[in-house]
């Protein structure tokens, strides 16, 4: 009833392949769809939510194809990424309108429940245009939940939220997942989802690269080595000094400077400054070489 | 048709449309029309045909299509542009119902903001409830319907609805429809004029189409454009990741 199933799904825009032969099954509970920007997360979510036709492959939600099938929205709720809601309406009017569009028998009851679930009762009578980013996100979730869907899709739900709002949202998603709903959300920031339990699907360059348990990924994240490029007045001396420190696991002299691998980001950054001053070395440049999301994800994939 | 009208969609559309700043300029063309009419009336124009020229030509090929363009592209195009349409489409509501409802709202608003002012201008210009004033009013009502069906379709088909619509109004309605007699059969301005003239019977309107042609062609254009619009909306796609 609430399983999302992708079999060999691809999507391309002209010559550009955005999603390449993705096969996955997403069942009840919370699932994170993670990957760097442009990896194809949104394309996958748009296809699941029926707003993009797969170029190839089959995609079903609860056994029914979602493309060109508005009936799917009886069991599916969507929280789109874009922050555009009917800003002239109040939160309450927006959720109530959604309930009416679903032709719910007890619209008022459903509206009250949905608004309470996202903790927006106090602000429900205010116009959405006066809401903060986090409040807009929550009222969008309320609208997506008003018909009590078995499947809830959220595109970058933590974008622009402050840490408190983020925790609140994570708790809500965990709760909805524990109730047996299928919750799928996308995110490009691994740290954002640290508190969530459940599974993740990692998408890199349009392909499904890995899937697994949040906790395992989190362990890898904290213990992963960091690579820095350092240029200084005396690279050889600096390298010799650095290799003596426990936070440093490797040093290499390259044409562009010193490549340093550190196991502890914070400790290395403190020590490199202290050591270079002690030895009279002038630091010219210190760059984290692999902090791009792509490299983080590719590290995770390799492990 | 009534089964296709959705009250909730209508109320959201009406509030979202009138809530935008653009709503202020909806009434601008009609205000200008009335001001020009008042000025000409006061000046005692030399040409006895001026009500036909101002209300018929200027009214039907400039004021009516421009207002319909702004309103017709607002009810759907603005929501597609800013993405809020998603909240409407992520429900089981029929896509044809979304289109028809938005079209009805747009046509209603245009009648209120163009046809009614045109009646007022007609009453002022002709000095009472003359055949010309009534004819122009009825023609404007019909034009409100047909123009909006076209502009709602353009909004569903292209993201540059206002530019495309403006080109259509300027070149097709403004130039070809008046210069090339064969283009009359495909000019919404001329459908409106034809309908207006069936009541007014006024040669100075330069209506080129009979009532039957105007009504039949107008109905075909309305139904055809709305069908295309509904079909396009049923295949509404979100763009994916920035590539």
Q: Are A41 and B90 inside 8 Å of each other by CB?
A: no
Residues A148 and A178 in one domain: yes
Which helix (H) or strand (E) segment holds residue B189: the answer is helix B188-200
In a domain, B177, yes or no: yes
Torsion of CA A6, B88, B152, B23, to 10 degrees: -140
Interface test with A, best of B15, B241, B242 (most A CBs within 10 A): B241
Domain with A240 in it: what CATH number?
Answer: 3.30.70.920
- Residue A239 to residue B25: CA distance in whole angstroms: 69
Q: Are A87 and B9 inside 8 Å of each other by CB?
A: no
In a domain, B45, yes or no: yes
How many angstroms separate the Cα of B151 from the Cα of each of A195, B10, B67, B102, B116?
49, 17, 11, 11, 20
Is B6 in a helix, a strand, or coil?
Answer: coil
Residue B67 has pLDDT above 90, yes or no: yes
Task: Determine the pLDDT at residue B233.
Answer: 96
How many angstroms separate the Cα of B228 from the Cα of each of B145, B166, B237?
16, 20, 16
- Residue A36 to residue B210: CA distance in whole angstroms: 63
Averaged pLDDT for residues A120-144: 93
Say whether residue B182 is in contact with chain A using an 8 A CB cutoff: no
Residues A148 and A19 in one domain: yes
What crossing angle do the helices spanning B131-157 and B116-126 adopt, rounded to 10°? 150
Residues A278 and A165 in one domain: no
Domain range enclosing A284 = 224-302
Say whether residue A189 is in contact with chain B using an 8 A CB cutoff: no
In a domain, B169, yes or no: yes
Number of domains chain B is built from? 1
Nearest-CA neighbor of A241 among A230, A231, A251, A253?
A251
- Residue A72 to residue A60: CA distance in whole angstroms: 10
Beta bridge pairs of residue A260: A228, A251
Which helix (H) or strand (E) segment holds residue B192: the answer is helix B188-200
Task: Determine the pLDDT at residue B243.
Answer: 43
Task: Determine the pLDDT at residue B242.
Answer: 47
Averaged pLDDT for residues A174-181: 93
Averaged pLDDT for residues B175-182: 74
Q: Do the Cβ atoms of B95 and B233 come closer than 8 Å?
A: yes
Q: Helices H, strands E: what count in chain B?
A: 13, 0
Residues A56 and A179 in one domain: yes
Say whether residue A89 is in contact with chain B using an 8 A CB cutoff: yes
Residue A121 has pLDDT above 80, yes or no: yes
In a domain, B241, yes or no: no
Residues above pLDDT 70, as percent of chain B: 96
Q: Which residues of B touch A80 (CB under 8 A)?
A: 83, 86-87, 90, 238
Residue A214 has pLDDT above 90, yes or no: no
> Higher model confidence: residue A199 or residue B5?
B5
Query: Which range among A95-99, A224-228, B65-69, B89-93 shows the weakest confidence by mean pLDDT?
Result: A224-228
Averaged pLDDT for residues A4-26: 94
- Residue B227 to residue A198: CA distance in whole angstroms: 45
Residues A121 and A144 in one domain: yes
Closest-CA residue of A relative to B233 is A68
Q: Are B86 and A80 inside 8 Å of each other by CB?
A: yes
Residues A147 and A186 in one domain: yes
Q: For residue B176, how many other CB atoms are within 10 A of its CB?
A: 14
Kindly report, residue by residue over B68-106, the tens digit of the pLDDT: 999 999 999 989 988 899 999 999 999 999 999 999 999
Residue A144 has pLDDT above 70, yes or no: yes
Helices within chain A (DSSP H only): 41-48, 91-101, 107-117, 133-145, 163-178, 214-223, 235-242, 265-278, 293-302
Beta bridge pairs of residue A19: A11
Residues A84 and A205 in one domain: yes
Nearest-CA neighbor of B79 among A87, A50, A146?
A87
Edge-to-edge strand ranges of the sheet holding A56-61: A16-26, A4-13, A56-61, A64-65
* Residue A1 confidence class, pLDDT cut points 50, 70, 90: low
Residue B8 has pLDDT above 90, yes or no: yes
Residues A167 and A237 in one domain: no
Averaged pLDDT for residues B149-168: 95
Maximum pairwise Cα distance, chain A: 77
Closest-CA residue of B relative to A87 is B16
In sequence order, what are the residues at sequence separation of 6 or more whose Cβ sits closer than 8 angstroms to the Cβ of residue B171? none
Nearest-CA neighbor of A283 among A293, A291, A275?
A275
Q: For residue B123, how many other CB atoms are within 10 A of its CB?
A: 16
In a domain, B242, yes or no: no
Domain with A52 in it: what CATH number?
Answer: 3.40.50.300
Say whether residue A258 is in contact with chain B using an 8 A CB cutoff: no
Closest-CA residue of B relative to A74 is B92
Among A46, A78, A97, the residue with its CB nearest the CB of B12 is A97
Residue with tokens 């993740």: A200
Residues A199 and A254 in one domain: no
**Half-sphere exposure (Cβ direction) of B1: Cα atoms closer than 13 Å:** 6
* Residue A199 confidence class, pLDDT cut points 50, 70, 90: confident
Q: Are B91 and A73 inside 8 Å of each other by CB?
A: yes
Task: Determine the pLDDT at residue A290.
Answer: 62
Residues A156 and A292 in one domain: no
Q: Are A53 and B235 inside 8 Å of each other by CB?
A: yes
Kindly report, residue by residue over B12-62, the tens digit of the pLDDT: 999 989 887 777 889 899 999 999 999 998 887 668 888 888 888 889 888
* Residue B190 confidence class, pLDDT cut points 50, 70, 90: very high
* Residue A143 confidence class, pLDDT cut points 50, 70, 90: very high
Is A181 in a helix, a strand, or coil?
Answer: coil
Tell me the pLDDT of chain A averaged across its residues.
88
Show the CA angle centred on residue A209, arms to residues A208 and A211, nearest 5°. 85
Which helix (H) or strand (E) segment holds residue B19: the answer is helix B7-19
Number of domains chain A is built from? 2
Q: Are B92 and A98 inside 8 Å of each other by CB?
A: no
Residues A200 and A254 in one domain: no
Q: Are B237 and A53 inside 8 Å of each other by CB?
A: yes
Task: Determine the pLDDT at residue A55.
Answer: 95
DSSP label at A199?
Answer: E
Percentages helix, strand, coil for chain A, rounded to the nearest 5? 40, 30, 30
Residue B235 has pLDDT above 90, yes or no: yes
Task: Determine the pLDDT at residue B1.
Answer: 54
Residues A262 and A278 in one domain: yes
- Burial pattern B76-94, b for ≥16 Cβ within 10 A else e, equals bbbbbbbbbbbbbbbbbbb
In a domain, B167, yes or no: yes
Which helix (H) or strand (E) segment holds residue B216: the answer is helix B211-234
Percentages helix, strand, coil for chain B, rounded to the nearest 5? 80, 0, 20
Residues above pLDDT 90, as percent of chain A: 59
- Residue B153 to residue B103: CA distance in whole angstroms: 9
Domain range enclosing B169 = 2-234
Say whether residue B242 is in contact with chain A using an 8 A CB cutoff: yes
């Amino acid at each position: 009833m609430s399983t999302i199933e992708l079999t060999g799904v691809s999507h391309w825009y002209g010559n550009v392949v955005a999603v390449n032969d993705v096969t996955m099954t997403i069942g009840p509970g919370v699932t994170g769809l993670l990957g760097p920007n442009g990896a194809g997360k949104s394309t996958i979510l748009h296809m699941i939510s029926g707003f993009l036709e797969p170029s190839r492959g089959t995609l079903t939600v609860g056994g029914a194809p979602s493309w060109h099938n508005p009936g799917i929205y009886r069991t599916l709720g969507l929280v789109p990424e874009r922050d555009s809601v009917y800003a002239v309406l109040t939160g309450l009017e927006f959720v109530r309108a959604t309930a009416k569009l679903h032709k719910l028998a007890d619209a008022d009851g459903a509206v009250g429940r949905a608004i309470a679930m996202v903790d927006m009762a106090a602000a429900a009578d205010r116009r959405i245009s006066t809401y903060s980013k986090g409040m807009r996100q929550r009222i969008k979730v309320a609208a997506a939940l008003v018909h009590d869907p078995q499947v809830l899709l959220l595109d970058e739900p933590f974008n622009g939220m402050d840490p408190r709002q983020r925790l609140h949202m994570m708790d809500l998603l965990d709760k909805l997942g524990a109730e047996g709903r299928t919750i799928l959300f996308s995110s490009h920031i691994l740290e954002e989802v640290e508190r969530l339990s459940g599974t993740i699907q990692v998408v890199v360059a349009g392909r499904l690269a890995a899937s697994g348990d949040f906790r395992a990924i989190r362990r890898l994240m904290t213990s992963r080595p960091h690579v820095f490029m350092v240029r200084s007045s005396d690279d050889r001396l600096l390298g010799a000094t650095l290799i003596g420190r426990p936070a440093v696991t490797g040093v290499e002299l390259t044409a562009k400077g010193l490549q340093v691998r550190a196991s502890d980001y914070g400790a290395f950054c403190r020590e490199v400054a202290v050591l270079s001053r002690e030895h009279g070395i002038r630091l010219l440049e210190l760059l984290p070489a692999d902090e791009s999301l792509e490299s983080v994800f590719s590290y995770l994939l390799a492990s | 048709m009534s089964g296709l009208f959705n009250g909730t969609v209508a109320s959201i559309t009406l509030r979202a449309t009138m809530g935008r700043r653009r709503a202020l300029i909806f009434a601008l063309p009609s205000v200008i029309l009335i001001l020009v009419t008042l000025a000409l009336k006061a000046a005692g124009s030399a040409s006895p045909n001026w009500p036909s020229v101002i209300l018929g030509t200027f009214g039907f090929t400039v004021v009516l299509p421009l207002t319909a363009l702004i309103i017709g592209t607002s009810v759907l195009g603005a929501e597609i542009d800013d993405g809020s349409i998603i909240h409407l489409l992520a429900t089981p509501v029929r896509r044809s119902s979304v289109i028809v409802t938005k079209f009805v709202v747009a046509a209603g608003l245009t009648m209120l903001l163009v046809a009614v002012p045109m009646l007022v201008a007609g009453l002022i210009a002709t000095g009472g409830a003359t055949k010309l004033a009534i004819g122009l009013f009825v023609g404007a009502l019909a034009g409100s319907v047909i123009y909006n069906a076209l502009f709602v379709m353009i909004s569903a088909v292209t993201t540059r609805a206002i530019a495309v619509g403006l080109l259509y109004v300027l070149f097709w309605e403004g130039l070809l429809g008046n210069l090339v007699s064969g283009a009359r059969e495909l000019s919404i301005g001329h459908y409106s004029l034809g309908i207006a003239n069936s009541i007014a019977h006024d040669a100075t309107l330069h209506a080129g189409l009979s009532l039957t042609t105007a009504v039949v062609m107008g109905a075909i254009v309305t139904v055809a454009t709305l069908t295309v619009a509904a079909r396009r909306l049923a295949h509404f796609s979100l763009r994916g990741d920035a590539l």
